[in-house]
């Protein structure tokens, strides 16, 4: 049987999660000869290589190891090493449902130009930590909206954690941009190029890969700061996308929150300890579980995102790399006159 699917799993220091995903892929409804699995290890030193090498898989399984360069580079390494006509990307914190690969396979007959996002529900139960309940409830509601027949796909709907596309279509627009070295937005950047090339992006609720969310709030805050930084990078590449990103929402937040956020951003850039104190405050609130905890999560994460945005804009100015397109950000009211840089110690 000819291998028709290449499953690519980028990973960094998540050996146990990768092992769980590999185990779930042994139970697919399609024949194991029909797919290959490539684990692209982004500089992990936690035993992931040894685990994959020893894993007894009924399907073709191999690993690639490269120094840490970020998710985009790890995905590209996996693509270069793949051999099948259709590529499926799975994040390492997922667990494949038995019909996952069958669902992706049926949507990519020869000649189609589709990009298919599968469902990635976050598992939430009564024993879940408050942060998992918050993130899971919010994201699962988003998936429910994506599955509505009249939903129109928007830029911020896209993710590549459970995504399939014909390899020739992906290669025709270029692979992931490796300028994205830290967390976030490499998938949105790719989606813009796909749409510009006439590729139809769609959501398939039957292609399910369950997420096991394991980040604590400190890790989420760090990723959210990075997401703000990479949003500026994305906007420099695609200035017309600013209005469709969170970058275009600075003035639309809760009116009473905006002046406090502006003060926190100013203080946070000059004194990074402010950010640590804010994160520690949220961690204390998690312990006490007030009814308004979801609001505190939302406000703290909003601050972290814009802190990352300001840090990236100021770094661009400092390095003389501020393209004229980024001056459009002045229209959202974000003051970038403070030349201080944020060096998070989270």
Per residue of the chain (346 residues), what is the pLDDT tens digit?
556 899 999 999 999 999 999 999 999 999 999 999 999 999 999 999 999 999 999 999 999 999 999 999 999 999 999 999 999 999 999 999 999 999 999 999 888 899 999 999 999 998 999 999 999 999 999 999 999 999 999 999 999 999 999 999 999 999 999 999 999 999 999 999 999 999 999 999 999 999 999 999 999 999 999 999 999 999 999 999 998 999 988 887 778 899 999 999 989 878 889 999 999 999 999 998 999 999 999 999 999 999 999 999 988 776 665 554 555 554 454 554 443 444 444 6
Looking at the structure, tell me whether residues 126 and 275 fall in a common domain. no
Task: Clarify whether residues 205 and 227 are in a common domain.
Answer: no
Q: Given 194, 211, 228, which residue is the final one in a domain? A: 211
282 in the same domain as 171: no
Query: Has residue 82 been placed in a domain?
Result: yes
What span, in angstroms and rounded, lies between the C-alpha atoms of 195 and 247?
20
Q: Tokens 């290890």 — which residue?
A: 41
- 98: tokens are 């038995």
Domain that holds residue 311: 217-332
CA distance 290 to 8: 41
Interatomic CA distance for residues 327 and 201, integer angstroms: 30
On whether residue 346 sits in a domain, the answer given is: no
Residue with tokens 């703000």: 228
Can you give the CATH number for the domain in which 190 is found? Answer: 3.90.550.10
Distance from C-alpha of 216 to C-alpha of 129, rounded to nearest angstrom: 9
Give the other-Cβ count within 10 Å of 46's Cβ. 15
319 plus 261 within the same structural domain: yes
Q: Is 340 a domain residue?
A: no
> Do 123 and 47 belong together in one domain?
yes
Residues 41 and 167 in one domain: yes
Quick one: tokens of 143? 């998936």
Q: Which of 186, 211, 236 is the last residue of a domain?
A: 211
Residue 343 maps to a domain: no
* Residue 251 CA from chain centroid, whole number: 25
DSSP conformation letters of 55-105: ---SSEEEEEEE----HHHHHHHHHHH--SSEEEEE-TTEEE-TTHHHHHH
What is the phi/psi pair of residue 115, to 5°? -120, 125
Q: Same domain, yes or no, for 166 and 35?
A: yes
């Amino acid at each position: 049987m000819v291998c028709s699917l290449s499953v690519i799993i980028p990973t960094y220091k998540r050996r146990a999660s990768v092992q769980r995903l590999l185990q779930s892929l042994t139970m697919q409804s399609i024949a194991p000869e029909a797919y290959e699995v490539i684990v692209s290890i982004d500089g992990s030193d936690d035993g992931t290589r040894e685990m994959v090498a020893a894993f007894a898989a009924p399907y073709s399984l191999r690993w690639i190891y490269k120094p840490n360069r970020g998710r985009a580079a790890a995905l590209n390494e996996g693509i270069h090493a793949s051999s099948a006509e259709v590529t499926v990307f799975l994040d390492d914190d997922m667990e494949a449902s038995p019909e996952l690969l069958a669902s992706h396979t049926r949507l990519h007959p020869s000649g189609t130009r589709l990009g298919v996002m599968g469902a990635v529900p976050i598992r939430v139960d009564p024993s879940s930590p408050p942060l998992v309940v918050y993130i899971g409830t919010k994201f699962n509601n988003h998936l429910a909206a994506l599955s509505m027949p009249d939903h129109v796909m928007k830029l911020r709907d896209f993710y590549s954690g459970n995504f399939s596309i014909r390899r020739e279509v992906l290669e025709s627009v270029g692979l992931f941009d490796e300028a994205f070295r830290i967390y976030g937005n490499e998938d949105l950047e790719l989606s813009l190029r796909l749409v510009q090339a006439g590729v139809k992006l769609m959501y398939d609720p039957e292609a399910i890969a369950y997420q096991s969310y394991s980040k604590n709030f400190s890790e989420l805050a760090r990723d959210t700061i990075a997401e703000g930084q990479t949003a500026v990078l994305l906007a420099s590449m695609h200035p017309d996308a600013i209005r469709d990103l969170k970058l275009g929402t600075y003035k639309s937040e809760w009116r009473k929150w905006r002046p406090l956020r502006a003060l926190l951003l100013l203080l946070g850039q000059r004194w990074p300890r402010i950010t640590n104190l804010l994160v520690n405050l949220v961690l204390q609130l998690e312990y006490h579980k007030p009814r308004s905890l979801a609001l505190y999560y939302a406000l703290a994460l909003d601050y972290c995102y814009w802190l990352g945005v300001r840090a990236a804009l100021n770094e661009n100015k400092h390095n003389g790399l501020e393209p004229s397109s980024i001056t459009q950000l002045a229209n959202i009211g974000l003051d970038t006159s403070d030349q201080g840089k944020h060096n998070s110690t989270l």
